[in-house]
Structure 1
Amino acid sequence: MRAAVTGAGGFVGRHLVARLRSDGWDVVALTRADVDLADPVAATAAVRAADPDVVFSLAAGRAKATPADRAATVAVNTSPWLVDALPDRCRAVVRLGSSTEYAADPRPLTEEAPLHPRGFFGATKAAGSLLLQAAAAERGVRAAVLRAFQVYGPGDHPTRLVPVVLDAARTGAVVALPGSVSRRDWVWVGDVVDACVRAALAADLPAGQVLNIGTGVQTATEELIATAERVTGRPIATAPGAHPGRDWDTADWVSDPALAARLLGWAPTVDLAEGLARTWAAGA
């Protein structure tokens, strides 16, 4: 099997490329250094040259400070050129979406939950998911959208919460916390990668299928820090109210992963304590 992976230099992308290669796939890893995915001509040429059986669409832009930033983020996160770039041999596109495409809800989120994105990033991801579903249906290409909840693990960006918390355990730095309660459904990066691979290989998966990839368990930031203290055996100082919070912060944010279990046979295998321990041991 030959795969093209966009966003291969990102957090999840690096883990996916490693998994595919270990499974014997021929992988074309497309990073920002290889191609500007905001340029439809260059991006189309890169995907066609890769000549893949499967495309894993993991690239994601987040910049939004200027009009140019926002335009580039929209172009990368929607990738309207992608389906037309696929060679005839391509059998599937797996897109890594985001749970921020959904409206906040106190109940576990199913795939039927309304789209009401939280923040600019969520809006662009939702638009990209809808565009992919529509274009793939017209082209007759099987597409799957995996809406991942809060992914963590070794190699994450140092400004994300888990790296910040584990760095504080090492260095004694103080973790700034928002003033309000924030809960997230933390899902191990290896489990997300496994869902991507399963979706690519599931020939009987309905076209355009959306699947939530999470654990079904939500954890408050303070609870995560307490778990990290137990795992590392070190105290972690916090400063409540010192962080302004993020667009997508909410007191309730948890998936219902039942459909992924039914259609893919997928289930999370690593709980938060074990995942934090593995991340700590990896020095990341």
Structure 2
Amino acid sequence: MIKDTILMTGATSFLGRRFLAYLSKQKVDVFATASGENKNLKIQKMNFLFPEEVKETISRARSSVIYHIGGLVNLSRDYEVYKNCLEINTIGTLNLLESLRDYPPKKFVFISTEEIYGNSNIPYTEESKVDPPSGYSISKLAAERLCMIYAKEFKFQLIIARIGTMYGPGDRIHRLIPQIIVRAINNKQIDLNSGLKKRDYVFIDDVVEALIRIKEATFNNGVNIINISGGRSYSLRKIVDLILSFAKSKSKVFYGQIPERLGEADEWLLDIHKASKLLNWQPKTTIGEGLRQTVDYFKKR
């Protein structure tokens, strides 16, 4: 019997932790999972690469809504990264989907990425050509396609959320914006690439709001792709200027010290009209307000 609960993978990720905290405050019944060991007793260990472990977890959860947030995010152009992304993001997703054979959910939400669009014309709509430039985005696109196949076979509703460049309080320290913020707070030198490429940034709490609305929304189609992002693009130089201002930093910034990633587009920009129409959702947080909150968060750490 399917239960009126949410199953979440990747509960210890940046997005997973923020989303789980919100759901817990709302007293929503969540079966949260993560691949590694953690101190939170409410989060169950589930490694995607072990099919029997995944199947046993799904059998216990039997949730009506699944948010598949878990996976590996790494945009590096490197053989080992490509291999790990394909194993975790693609094969891992396949193992999860196959485990749903006996307990298919009503709704399956797959968290994907803006990078899938690659060098397509901007702004990217959900119908834009996909042109993944990295092992990571290739692995996510392959996982999307697998989700579509299983959604049709098991007759569950699939929502693929292609999300922009997330940032905000709680972000992992190894990611670019937190690295810049920490160095700015400590008045240390900041070495970057050209800083000219533009990205479509979206504040973490706006993404959480969109995910909630996906659960509540009614969709006419069995398979739905929805862009979730800020709807505006900013150069890294603009982001750095704002961070330095909010941190009151004396850091010196040197551009052109780090090479650009191979094949990466000059600008990512998502068209979010579909999210507005289907979810009645718009990002609420300006880039300035979002970065101010993020700088304040890292100042207090």
Q: Give the TM interval when normalised to the shorter protein.
A: over 0.9
Q: Is 1:85 paired with 2:96? A: no
Shift of 1:72: 4.3
Aligned length: 283
**Do the aligned partners of residues 205 and 174 (structure 1) sit closer, same or farther apart at CA in structure 2, a change above 3 Å counting?**
farther
**Do the aligned partners of residues 171 and 180 (structure 1) sit closer, same or farther apart at CA in structure 2, a change above 3 Å counting?**
closer
Deviates more, 1:145-154 or 1:20-29: 20-29
**Do the aligned partners of residues 123 and 66 (structure 1) sit closer, same or farther apart at CA in structure 2, a change above 3 Å counting?**
closer
User: Which residue of 2 is the match for residue 161 of structure 1?
Assistant: 176
Which of the residues 13, 25, 39 maps onto 2:16? 13
TM-score normalized by the length of structure 2 = 0.87
User: Which residue of 2 is the match for residue 188 of structure 1?
Assistant: 203
User: Which residue of 1 is the match for residue 32 of structure 2?
Assistant: 29
Shift of 1:221: 0.5
Deviation readout 1:170-212 (Å, 9 max, x if unpaired)? 1112222113621100100111111112112223352210011
Distance 2:153 2:121 in 1: 36
User: Which residue of 2 is the match for residue 50 of structure 1?
Assistant: 61
Deviation readout 1:92-121 (Å, 9 max, x if unpaired)? 111110011112245211001111102000
Deviation readout 1:203-251 (Å, 9 max, x if unpaired)? 3352210011111110000011111122233233212111223357432
Amino acid corresponding to residue 48 of structure 1 in structure 2: S
CA contact (8 A) 1:185 1:215 kept: yes
CA contact (8 A) 2:118 2:264 kept: no
Aligned pairs (5 A) from 1:9-158: 9-33=12-36, 34-62=45-73, 70-78=82-90, 79-86=93-100, 88=103, 90-158=105-173
User: Which residue of 1 is the match for residue 274 of structure 2?
Assistant: 259
Amino acid corresponding to residue 283 of structure 2 in structure 1: P
Shift of 1:91: 1.2
Gapped regions of structure 1 (runs ≥ 5):
none
Distance 2:274 2:126 in 1: 8
Deviation readout 1:27-54 (Å, 9 max, x if unpaired)? 1211122121122222222222222121
Amino acid corresponding to residue 187 of structure 1 in structure 2: V
Cα-Cα RMSD? 2.0
**Do the aligned partners of residues 114 and 2 (structure 1) sit closer, same or farther apart at CA in structure 2, a change above 3 Å counting?**
same
CA contact (8 A) 1:3 1:56 kept: yes
Distance 1:258 1:47 in 2: 34
CA contact (8 A) 2:104 2:154 kept: no
**Do the aligned partners of residues 133 and 247 (structure 1) sit closer, same or farther apart at CA in structure 2, a change above 3 Å counting?**
farther
Amino acid corresponding to residue 67 of structure 2 in structure 1: F
Deviation readout 1:57-102 (Å, 9 max, x if unpaired)? 01112468666x6544323212113233235472111111001111
**Secondary structure of the residue that 1:100 maps to in structure 2?**
helix
Deviation readout 1:117-155 (Å, 9 max, x if unpaired)? 020000000110111012111110001000001000112
Provide the identity percentage. Answer: 24
**Secondary structure of the residue that 1:76 maps to in structure 2?**
helix
CA contact (8 A) 2:189 2:253 kept: yes
**Do the aligned partners of residues 172 and 136 (structure 1) sit closer, same or farther apart at CA in structure 2, a change above 3 Å counting?**
same
CA contact (8 A) 2:9 2:69 kept: yes
Distance 2:272 2:165 in 1: 13
Distance 1:247 1:3 in 2: 38
Amino acid corresponding to residue 26 of structure 2 in structure 1: D
Distance 2:103 2:48 in 1: 21
Distance 1:246 1:81 in 2: 31
User: Which residue of 1 is the match for residue 40 of structure 2?
Assistant: none
Distance 2:194 2:157 in 1: 44
Q: Is 1:197 paired with 2:212? A: yes
**Secondary structure of the residue that 1:163 maps to in structure 2?**
helix
CA contact (8 A) 2:166 2:204 kept: yes
CA contact (8 A) 1:105 1:253 kept: no
Q: Is 1:219 paired with 2:234? A: yes
TM-score normalized by the length of structure 1 = 0.92
Distance 1:228 1:26 in 2: 37
